[in-house]
Amino acid sequence: MKINKICCIGAGYVGGPTMAVIAKKNPNIQVTIVDINEERIAAWNDEDVSKLPIYEPGLAEIVAETRGKNLFFSTEIDKAINESEMIFISVNTPTKTYGKGKGMAADLKYVELCARNIAEVATTDKIVVEKSTLPVRTAQAIKSILHNTGSDVTFEILSNPEFLAEGTAIQDLLNPDRVLIGGESESAIESLANIYGSWVSQDKILRTNVWSSELSKLTANAFLAQRISSINAISELCEHTEANVNEVARAIGMDSRIGPKFLNASIGFGGSCFQKDILNLVYIARSYGLNAVADYWEQVIILNDHQKRRFSDNLISTLYNTVSGKKIAMLGWAFKKDTNDTRESAAIYVADHLLSEQANIAVYDPKVPSKKVYADLNYLQTRTDAENKELVTTYSDPYEALKGAHAIAIMTEWDEFKTYDWEKIYANMKKPAFIFDGRNILDKAEMTKIGFEYSSIGQ
Ligand code: UDX
Ligand code: UDX
């Protein structure tokens, strides 16, 4: 099928950047991103591209170049579906918060709504592409909904999981390690392969069956998360021995079979995908009665929770077993640098724990707005909004956030933290001045020389 128009449902962290790059690389294809959230679409249409709802290096430039030419943002979902030959589903698939599979399975409510919406309004043949990460065999459910509409419209379903990482999304999209397309219909697969083919070489475009494609996405995220939990497990052992986790990571990373990436010990992984996808994998394995498989992967999450918890436990015990009434300054709230996304960020859980110990928390993050910090804490329902507001203050100037603090906790590895005037910060803090570097970004010798009581992960 020749594709002239594409519609993407879901203008989020995945849909926005992915479609912007497809539009840039395929000037002859009209790409419309639709979303039920009017405020979000309005932000995508803001004339000032620095106000786009998603911060991602390089994204604003591409939107400025393509928007209004062949890239459009709209809330007119039905119209965009009907006009397009290819529809991407890129809505969120959070972990279920109710009913069967609560806390484990992916909530497919939004995906099903999209499928029903497409079935209802389509009057011409469509290729429907799953972009959201979905449990294995979801394509079957989408297919069943689309094929039972009673109309004679033909739908082909493809799975095309996204491997972009936030903060490097544009680079990941422009130079992907691979593009994965799962499907039954060869012609539908080739229609999508042609779109990517305008900038990705054919040997990097893998064609598989639908189930392999869906499972590959979950498996890739599970393996990546497992590496982090593995090095984090070793970091705790390092803290009890004379070993240094950075040295261990370097030594093992030079083994070409292991490789150097994803070996940074940290406060624990966050983000919208790792935990959700592993829980999903665990849920699927259990539902087939594969308990040994489920237990194996669940341990990756258990270790990650342990890592976050022991960071705050260590902070409290170092501050003479009490943080009550003390100012703890957090540098960073996003789940990693170069993004304004805070989903599952370790900072939220560490802050929640410290707040339960009556700490006063000061937060500075270069990209996360104040209201998101409070929304994240309120979402946990540990305290009321008023209580969170009383105990937590957000700052737009890092030096103000750090002034008078008893301790600094580095939660995100933003590059700017390394370039601060640490002598000045030390001078303005309560003594002894503690730094808990949850990202191992500062130099221990330098910090100790200034006078800080510096501790990091795995050293
Ligand atoms: C994605 C995914 O697609 C998810 O499966 C993956 O694991 C993580 O990344 P993301 O783009 O990060 O989600 O989600 P989000 O930023 O929440 O964007 C989803 C958008 O879909 C939201 O703007 C929401 O308003 C929209 N939406 C949701 C719809 O337009 N219709 C719906 O029915 C539901
Ligand atoms: C991840 C996958 O990398 C991506 O392929 C998939 O499409 C979506 O999920 P993302 O969550 O955006 O991407 O970021 P990623 O760079 O993978 O980082 C996830 C978390 O792990 C962050 O909190 C990060 O700080 C942490 N991390 C990463 C570590 O703690 N140590 C590392 O060595 C690497």
Q: For residues 358 and 347, give the distance between their C-alpha atoms in angstroms, rounded to a whole number.
A: 16
pLDDT tens-place string over residues 422-441: 999 999 999 999 999 999 99
What is the three-class DSSP state of 97? coil
Element (H, E) at 156: strand 155-159
Of 128, 129, 130, nearest to 153 by C-alpha is 128
CA of 271 to the centre of ligand 2 (A): 7
Of all protein residues, the one whose alpha carbon is nearest to atom 31 of ligand 1 is 36
Of all protein residues, the one whose alpha carbon is nearest to atom 12 of ligand 1 is 13
Q: For residues 251 and 457, give the distance between their C-alpha atoms in angstroms, rounded to a whole number.
A: 17
Q: For residues 46 and 24, give the distance between their C-alpha atoms in angstroms, rounded to a whole number.
A: 19
CA of 150 to the centre of ligand 1 (A): 29
Give the Å distances, CA to CA, from 382 to 61, 169, 217, 268, 355: 40, 33, 33, 21, 9
pLDDT tens-place string over residues 383-426: 999 999 999 999 999 999 999 999 999 999 999 999 999 999 99
Nearest ligand 1 atom to the CA of 10 is 21
Measure CA 11 to chain center. 15
Q: Is residue 158 within 8 Å of 181, Cβ to Cβ?
A: yes
Residue 165 CB less than 6 A away from ligand 2: yes
Confidence check: pLDDT of 194 > 90: yes
Instruction: Fill in the DSSP letter of residue 141.
Output: H
Q: For residues 128 and 144, give the distance between their C-alpha atoms in angstroms, rounded to a whole number.
A: 13
378-405 b/e (C-beta count within 10 Å ≥ 16 → b): eeeeebeeeebeebbbbbeebeebbbeb
Catalytic residue among 7, 214, 273, 413: 273
pLDDT tens-place string over residues 138-147: 888 888 888 8
Residue 336 CB less than 6 A away from ligand 2: yes
Is 217 noted as a catalytic residue in this protein? yes
pLDDT tens-place string over residues 214-237: 999 999 999 999 999 999 999 999
Q: Is residue 354 within 8 Å of 316, Cβ to Cβ?
A: yes
Of all protein residues, the one whose alpha carbon is nearest to atom 15 of ligand 2 is 165
CA of 107 to the centre of ligand 1 (A): 12
